[in-house]
Chains A and B, each alone.
Chain A
Amino acid sequence: QESMTVSGTVTDGNGMPLPGVNVLIKGTTRGEQTDFDGNYSIQAEQGDVLVFSYLGMQTVEYPVTNVNTIDVVLEQDAAQLEEVVVTALGISREKRSLGYATEEVSGAEVNTAKEGNFINSLSGKVSGLDIKKSSTLGGSSNIIIRGYTSLTGNNQPLFVVDGVPISNQNTNTSDQTSGRGGYDYGNAAMDINPDDVASVNVLKGAAASALYGSRAANGVILITTKTGRKNEDIGVTISSGITFSQMDDDTFVEYQKEYGAGYGPFYGPNEDAYFNEWDVDGDGNDDLVVPFTEDASFGGRFDPSLMVFQWDAFYPESPNYLQATPWTAAENGPESVFRTGVTYNHSISLDGGTDQSTYRLGYTLFDQEGILPNSNIKRNTVDVKATHDFTDKLSAGVTATYTNTDGKGRYGTGYSGTNIFQSMRQWNQNNVDFEAQKDAYFTTGRNITWNYANAEAGNFSPIYTDNPYWQLYENYQTDVRDRLYGNFNLNYEFTDWFSATGRVSMDTYNDLREERRNVGSNGVSAYQRYDASYTELNYDLLLNFDYDLSEDLNLSGLLGATARRQTFREMRASTTGGLVIPGLYSLSNSQNLLVPPTENFEELHTNGYFASASFGYRNTFFLDATARVDESSSLPESDNTYFYPSVSTSIVFSELFNNDWMSFGKLRANYAEVGNYAPPLSVQNVYSNPTNFRTPLYSVNSTANNPDLKNETTKSWEVGLEMEFFNRRLGFDLAAYQSNSIDQLMPVTVTAATGYTRRWVNAGEVENKGIEASLHVSPVRTDDFEWRINANWFTNESEVLSLYGDNQNLQIASLQGGISVNATVGQPYGTIWGTNYTYLEDGSGPVINPDNGRFVVDGTPQPIGDINPDWKAGISNTLSYKAVSFSFLIDIQKGGDIFSLDTWYGYATGVTANTAGLNELGNPVRDPISEGGGLLLEGVNPDGSANTTRTQMGNYANAIGYGYAPNAYHTYDGSFVKLREATLSYSLPTTLAERLSLTNVTLSAVGRNLWIIDKNIPYSDPEAGLSSGNIQGIQSGAIPTAREYGFNVRLQF
């Protein structure tokens, strides 16, 4: 037989060349791969058969005849396309066999338009995933799958990266999470580098996550990182991006510009004027002076002809020192403090492999500036991943990721002077020019405030509020986190149907957080440091089998054991009584003897034993069962072992009919239980150690532990339907589920009359029910052009069925403004309680007091809001034409209430635009009612007739501020429609790329959080909260949202 050269081009169904297609002469090991343009060339003989294979494509065979050119078109393999997904414990399963819902997000969806916290880039992309991003730089993202199941415990899912369970701990202080001030240091899973992510799988229900055991009770986010390819060439990928962040005006205060400092006409010698009077310039005459102590804007109407002494007349370096200036609105209001933040993201990776090995090495630098001055987060990530087949039977792998995160100037949060938005939103003087404040700080280096404590007596220290630039440049925080996670694994294949895997995985990190308040600030100067270290080791042994019992019947499964060893230690220390030397931040620079640091050390050991079996009949009927036994060190010795099962089934009914239009159809159902253990140190009672007085002090702990605790349990069922039509141009996935979490482990609040305020118990039941739907459709698909829509929608309804004993209410948090977040029997988890409007018996209202035009407030705390959204949806559109692709994502939330402490106070201090302007008569609303001013509230008189009484808006004691409005007035529907993400990408034609010695060049323009198309809450982003965790539904000093847009270049060679 004569040898000849056969060549040709391999393309996909759209005519795009396919590089890297294996071209093999059947029955031999001789083969080639197609090049970048899909071209191949191979020596063959007539009669040989060429096998063209490529992952995700149907394999085709062509006999070699006397023709030298064979062009091949590979069609997508419908069966393979969806075939394999990563499930619990990193086990790859055929998706068709699964009796539960999993949803996959590709790496490109999280690493094109990148977020500092990669969790945010899942928002709107997965049905059932309720993500609430933080507006603060490097802040935590709250992520809830299928509702809050635990009354007081952790409700965040488990994160697993390449088989390594990694900590998603949030160690923000309770003051921070409840809005009393502090910094949001984020949740630990944000260390995951989006550039390394190959895919994200979301395991939503208990059946999907059952093999992970207790800690997966809230679902699992499974992340698979990129792997090296078996390719002798070195694959190099370089990606470089720049992103600009700018404050979204829709999420900040619109200030009224008609009135300045004061609470009303309460000043001057007769306490009836808008200004104080004393002789400032020493000319013997009393001068008009701004009431500096008043952090409000219900003062005098601006009048450029009125000359008054303002804050900048009182420091010698001021251009206006001892000079009166016109009484006008600030030319540069608080919004002038924002800057354009610039973020750089550079990464390089090398990958490759041989027949036996693969490797990938990566480095990423993420360097983000915030929209406030002096704020920055820098993260370096180095990662390594390698596999090697030592023999046909023995293979091993190792992964390791090191991250170093350096933060500086994270924004303060909540009701605290460290959060400059607290005063900007709630306690501002609208006459204060913030550019002038900036000059004052930079000129003097001192804390020149607009809020002097007692200027007349020569006391120029701030009574409440520091100069914002002093705050940002002197009282900044810093933090460092070093983290290493990875695993080592060994696999041995005893036979083709039986193998064993051993794996050791580790996640360890150290945190150092330093917080400062310099001498000269409002409050006691201080330096505080927080040190924490976390280490988790998991040892897994898995025995896998996969056996065809007959031609039709397959049995696969595993037996496994796992041990987890976790330690967490933390220490918080602070100077006492202030700093001695200004600007020196060390514990030894303490005015007084140090109060001892608070120390905490917790250890948790758990052992798990599990088994699973899967039967498959004719690749059509599938049945899965799992069982797991857990032992936990955190439960009492006598009761520390518990068992839970799951069973799931799926029927690929499309196999049973043969028709053209239905490409795939599957019904699935499952039932699962997951047990959960107590947090460490909740069993044995200990004494607490208050700071020593003259002698040592100990006290009975305010929380009583409980030696009789047992595990809690979540029971759930789920049904689903998955269908694909018209060659998968249209498809949907529907799921319905219910879960009940019983015997909840929690520290319930008890009356202090017991001598305690909390007590650990097993009690209560929470039910969650929901429906999830996702849909994809390609309305247009031609050779060059495709328009693809992915949409998802979900709703979850929760109900608290019972609590501890006869209690009908469990307070999750008591918050400022007199509101609380609660779990109340018969209500959804997370109701906001507060004072309400009064309604008449026929439901009309709110009732207005005809004497003063104010709301008649029902002062009994009652449910006035629900933190849970009614539903959420995401719609993404992708339009691709040849090498250009444009996509955008609309993210929608309906419902989900928020109480705003910002408007609660801000309306009483007259800061916001709605507290001034004209009323319906066309008169200034702040004018006396006798002169046609005042506000007409919508409502009814006690007799049911429409309210006609206008209410005064001339001072702080108005009807809409915290003094006289019910909490309900400041509780807003958190609905929104957002243009979350838009990307435009262009890949250079391969020929052009090749001329540059590159295999691929992609240019992208990306944008995130570009536009809030619709929302109800004024002056802020409905997503702005305090921290991840169970305390949601409150805004306090809300941080404005940053719009982000940028450019990215990606080179592969």
Chain B
Amino acid sequence: CSDDLSDVNVDTKSPTEVPADVLFSNATKGLVDQMVSTNVNRGIFKLVAQYWTETTYTDEANYNLVERNINGAQWTILYRDVLKDLDEAAMILSENPDASLSEAQIQNQLAMIEVLQVFTWHVLVDTFGDIPYTEALDLENGTPVYDDDAAIYADLVNRLDGAIAQLDAGSAGFTGGADYLYNGDAGQWSKFANSLKLRLALRYANVDDAKASQMATEAIEAGVFESHADNAAMQYEASAPNTNPIWTDLVQSGRADFVAANTIVDAMNERDDPRRDDYFAENLGEGVYEGGTYGATGNTQSNSTIYSERLEDPTLEGVLLDYTEVEFLIAEAAARGYVSEDAEAHYNEAVTSSIIYWGGTEAEADTYLAQPEVAYDEANWVERIGVQKWIALYNRGFEAWSTWRKLDVPELPNAAQSGLPVPLRFTYPASEATLNSDNWAAASSAIGGDEQQTPVFWDVN
């Protein structure tokens, strides 16, 4: 029996080499899925931002991140399923690119990978604070050190600048439909990168005005989103398994776990918001909107307002960053004096673009903005921008939560059952304490305790 034994130990069903674009596509989808998901096992940002609350089983609305390992899902999906694939794609492009690719195209693809990596890293930092960064994504180092969150941010800004400089609108990016965000258009990626830079700039608002001001100025000058056509968004498909993950949980599951939270419904009722019939169903009667008490038991889909049919659309696009958010960011940068733009104009455009995005009209927006409690108020810009951005970011729970942490507007009540306040970060996954215990312990003490109420570096008040 002298057959070559090692020949049979080959996986004949899986490849050992793949091109970069299939990894890039997978990472993009993984990232958008995770940012969009409302699954109680992996993505509960719509609850955290108090857009929705739960019906019978209210653990997650009460900020129990541990029972279902929600913090672990965020960590694992972003590191393993997004960053690792991006990292691998970049490695393939650098070391062993497809021979048909031009050098300019490779550089564009690498820059696009870099932009998505920066996006993902900042989501991880914003979620947890200090995280493994410099030593991460290295199999040979099973116990990567945690880096300081501010230091990671500083590096991300540099990397983003590098990617912006590298993007060449005259050359192609990922082709053949592999780029789910911009179909390979480097010019669009450039706008996305600058818009992301603008977002990061405003994260610095309370910790480093100079840096925030400089970054915002550079970003706006270089060109950010100019309409919803520029949005960093991925279109989902009509049929399983490629639907929007929200559809899977709301429709396909046959369950009835969520209702609108009183927090947002009350705020929109007070302002007679024209988006209510876009955000919510009129299941309690025409024009009747009544949210369930946030985090309480006893909310049912028959006694509380639920989400609109639009949220149940399987093809609903998943958004990473959009024009409305950019307009709010410019308004905020202007209000803070970082840029010489008209804060009010951008605020009005932000609100208007949101209303139109959700199906409203210019006229509705004008009426809405004419109300004293909605109209821009320079003296009260934090409250105005805070509340309106929060309303506009409905279905974008993660960004809503992050903006809220920075602006501390609107006031979000403690969850009714547990009495817990809105988390300021996610605690580290339980597995870190056993798998990387020394570094986990050091990081926990460095950030001031591995607690939900320990703020990340840019959340200083």
Q: Which residues of A line the B interface, CB within 8 A?
A: 263-264, 266-267, 271, 293-294, 453-454, 456-457, 461-464, 522-524, 539, 563, 576-578, 591-593, 595, 599-601, 603-605, 607, 631-634, 636-637, 640, 680-681, 683-691, 693-702, 704, 749-757, 759, 804-809, 811, 814, 818, 861
Stretch among B94-102, B247-255, B266-274 lining the A interface: B247-255
Known interface pairs A453-B254, A601-B13, A806-B143; A811-B434 also in contact (CB < 8 Å): yes
- Closest B residue to A561 by CB, please name it: B1
- Closest A residue to B76 by CB, please name it: A752
Chain B contact-residue range equals 35 or more
Is B22 touching A607 in the complex (CB atoms < 8 A)? no
Give every chain A residue within 8 A of B436 (Cβ-Cβ): 751, 753
A816 vs chain B, min Cβ distance (A): 9
Is B139 touching A755 in the complex (CB atoms < 8 A)? yes
In this complex, which of B66, B143, B237 has the most chain A Cβ atoms within 10 angstroms of its Cβ? B143
Is A752 touching B80 in the complex (CB atoms < 8 A)? yes
Give every chain B residue within 8 A of A690 (Cβ-Cβ): 26
Is A807 touching B435 in the complex (CB atoms < 8 A)? yes
Give every chain B residue within 8 A of A271 (Cβ-Cβ): 298, 303
B92 vs chain A, min Cβ distance (A): 11
Is A591 touching B22 in the complex (CB atoms < 8 A)? no
Is A633 touching B25 in the complex (CB atoms < 8 A)? no
Extra 15 A-B pairs, beta carbons < 8 Å, given A577-B241, A681-B11, A805-B142 = A293-B300, A524-B240, A576-B239, A576-B240, A577-B239, A577-B240, A592-B240, A640-B5, A681-B9, A697-B22, A700-B88, A750-B142, A751-B432, A752-B75, A754-B79
Known interface pairs A691-B241, A754-B141; A634-B15 also in contact (CB < 8 Å): no
Give every chain A residue within 8 A of B297 (Cβ-Cβ): 263-264, 266
B10 vs chain A, min Cβ distance (A): 7
> How many Å lie between the Cα of A700 and that of B90 in the bound state?
13
Is A464 touching B6 in the complex (CB atoms < 8 A)? no
Stretch among B130-138, B319-327, B386-394 lining the A interface: B130-138
Please, what's the 1-or-0 string for B72-86, where 1 marks a CB less than 8 Å from any CB in chain A?
000110011101110
Is B302 touching A464 in the complex (CB atoms < 8 A)? no
Give every chain B residue within 8 A of A805 (Cβ-Cβ): 142-143
Is B308 interfacial (CB 8 A cutoff)?
Answer: no
Is B206 interfacial (CB 8 A cutoff)?
Answer: no
Give every chain B residue within 8 A of A636 (Cβ-Cβ): 6
Question: Which chain B residues numbered 134 to 181 have a C-beta less than 8 Å away from chain A?
Answer: 136-139, 141-144, 176-178, 180
Give every chain B residue within 8 A of A687 (Cβ-Cβ): 14-16, 18, 23
Is A695 touching B177 in the complex (CB atoms < 8 A)? yes
> How many Å lie between the Cα of A680 and that of B298 in the bound state?
52
> How many Å lie between the Cα of A749 and that of B432 in the bound state?
11
Tell me which of B15, B180, B435 contacts A698 (CB under 8 A): B15
Is A605 touching B3 in the complex (CB atoms < 8 A)? yes
Is B277 interfacial (CB 8 A cutoff)?
Answer: no
Give every chain A residue within 8 A of B144 (Cβ-Cβ): 751, 753-754
Is A752 touching B79 in the complex (CB atoms < 8 A)? yes
Is B8 interfacial (CB 8 A cutoff)?
Answer: yes
Give every chain B residue within 8 A of A755 (Cβ-Cβ): 79-80, 83-84, 87, 136-139
Is B15 touching A686 in the complex (CB atoms < 8 A)? yes
B133 vs chain A, min Cβ distance (A): 9
Is B340 interfacial (CB 8 A cutoff)?
Answer: no
Is B435 touching A749 in the complex (CB atoms < 8 A)? yes
Give every chain B residue within 8 A of A754 (Cβ-Cβ): 79, 136-139, 141-142, 144
Known interface pairs A592-B240, A818-B67; A751-B435 also in contact (CB < 8 Å): yes
Is B437 interfacial (CB 8 A cutoff)?
Answer: yes
What is the predominant secondary structure among interface residues of chain B facing chain A? loop
Is B242 interfacial (CB 8 A cutoff)?
Answer: yes
Is B256 interfacial (CB 8 A cutoff)?
Answer: yes
Pairs A-B, 7 closest by C-beta atoms: A755-B84, A686-B14, A577-B240, A753-B132, A633-B5, A592-B239, A637-B6
In this complex, which of A266, A697, A704, A809 has the most chain B Cβ atoms within 10 angstroms of its Cβ? A697
- Closest A residue to B432 by CB, please name it: A751
> How many Å lie between the Cα of A685 and that of B84 in the bound state?
14
- Closest A residue to B297 by CB, please name it: A266
Question: Which chain B residues numbered 23 to 37 have a C-beta less than 8 Å away from chain A?
Answer: 23, 25-26, 29-30
- Closest A residue to B136 by CB, please name it: A753
Tell me which of B1, B30, B435 contacts A607 (CB under 8 A): B1
Is B6 touching A699 in the complex (CB atoms < 8 A)? no
Is B430 interfacial (CB 8 A cutoff)?
Answer: yes
Is B16 touching A685 in the complex (CB atoms < 8 A)? yes
> How many Å lie between the Cα of A563 and that of B145 in the bound state?
48
Give every chain A residue within 8 A of B303 (Cβ-Cβ): 271
Q: Which residues of B line the A interface, CB within 8 A?
A: 1, 3, 5-16, 18, 21-23, 25-26, 29-30, 55-56, 66-67, 69, 75-76, 79-81, 83-85, 87-88, 131-132, 136-139, 141-144, 176-178, 180, 237, 239-242, 252-256, 283, 297-298, 300-303, 430-432, 434-438
Tell me which of A604, A680, A686, A753 contacts B131 (CB under 8 A): A753
In this complex, which of A271, A680, A804 has the most chain B Cβ atoms within 10 angstroms of its Cβ? A271
> How many Å lie between the Cα of A806 and that of B438 in the bound state?
10
- Closest B residue to A567 by CB, please name it: B8
Give every chain B residue within 8 A of A807 (Cβ-Cβ): 434-435
Give every chain A residue within 8 A of B254 (Cβ-Cβ): 453, 461-463, 522-524
Give every chain A residue within 8 A of B239 (Cβ-Cβ): 576-577, 591-593
Tell me which of B18, B23, B180, B431 contacts A693 (CB under 8 A): B180
> How many Å lie between the Cα of A578 and that of B55 in the bound state?
26
A453 vs chain B, min Cβ distance (A): 6
Give every chain A residue within 8 A of B84 (Cβ-Cβ): 700, 755-756
Give every chain B residue within 8 A of A701 (Cβ-Cβ): 14
Tell me which of A263, A267, A464, A695 contacts B178 (CB under 8 A): A695
In this complex, which of B8, B239, B432 has the most chain A Cβ atoms within 10 angstroms of its Cβ? B8
Give every chain B residue within 8 A of A809 (Cβ-Cβ): 434
In this complex, which of B18, B144, B237 has the most chain A Cβ atoms within 10 angstroms of its Cβ? B18
> How many Å lie between the Cα of A690 and that of B12 in the bound state?
16
A-B contact pairs, 30 of them (CB 8 A): A263-B56, A263-B297, A266-B297, A267-B298, A294-B56, A463-B255, A577-B241, A578-B240, A592-B239, A636-B6, A684-B11, A689-B15, A693-B237, A696-B25, A698-B22, A699-B30, A699-B81, A700-B23, A701-B14, A749-B435, A751-B132, A752-B75, A753-B75, A754-B141, A755-B139, A757-B80, A804-B142, A805-B142, A806-B438, A861-B430
Tell me which of A453, A522, A633 contacts B8 (CB under 8 A): A633
B174 vs chain A, min Cβ distance (A): 9
Tell me which of A266, A464, A599, A632 contacts B5 (CB under 8 A): A632
Give every chain A residue within 8 A of B237 (Cβ-Cβ): 693-694
Give every chain A residue within 8 A of B177 (Cβ-Cβ): 694-695
Give every chain A residue within 8 A of B5 (Cβ-Cβ): 605, 607, 631-633, 637, 640
Tell me which of B26, B87, B298 contacts A266 (CB under 8 A): B298
- Closest A residue to B2 by CB, please name it: A607
- Closest A residue to B437 by CB, please name it: A808
- Closest B residue to A681 by CB, please name it: B11
Known interface pairs A752-B79, A759-B139; A697-B29 also in contact (CB < 8 Å): yes
In this complex, which of B69, B144, B283, B297 has the most chain A Cβ atoms within 10 angstroms of its Cβ? B297
Is A751 touching B23 in the complex (CB atoms < 8 A)? no
A560 vs chain B, min Cβ distance (A): 13
In this complex, which of A684, A752, A818 has the most chain B Cβ atoms within 10 angstroms of its Cβ? A752
Is A751 touching B255 in the complex (CB atoms < 8 A)? no
Is A693 touching B29 in the complex (CB atoms < 8 A)? yes
A393 vs chain B, min Cβ distance (A): 27
Known interface pairs A640-B6, A700-B88, A754-B141; A601-B12 also in contact (CB < 8 Å): yes
Give every chain B residue within 8 A of A861 (Cβ-Cβ): 430
B138 vs chain A, min Cβ distance (A): 6
Give every chain B residue within 8 A of A578 (Cβ-Cβ): 240
B390 vs chain A, min Cβ distance (A): 27
Known interface pairs A749-B431, A755-B139; A814-B69 also in contact (CB < 8 Å): yes
Give every chain A residue within 8 A of B431 (Cβ-Cβ): 749, 751, 811
> How many Å lie between the Cα of A592 and that of B252 in the bound state?
13
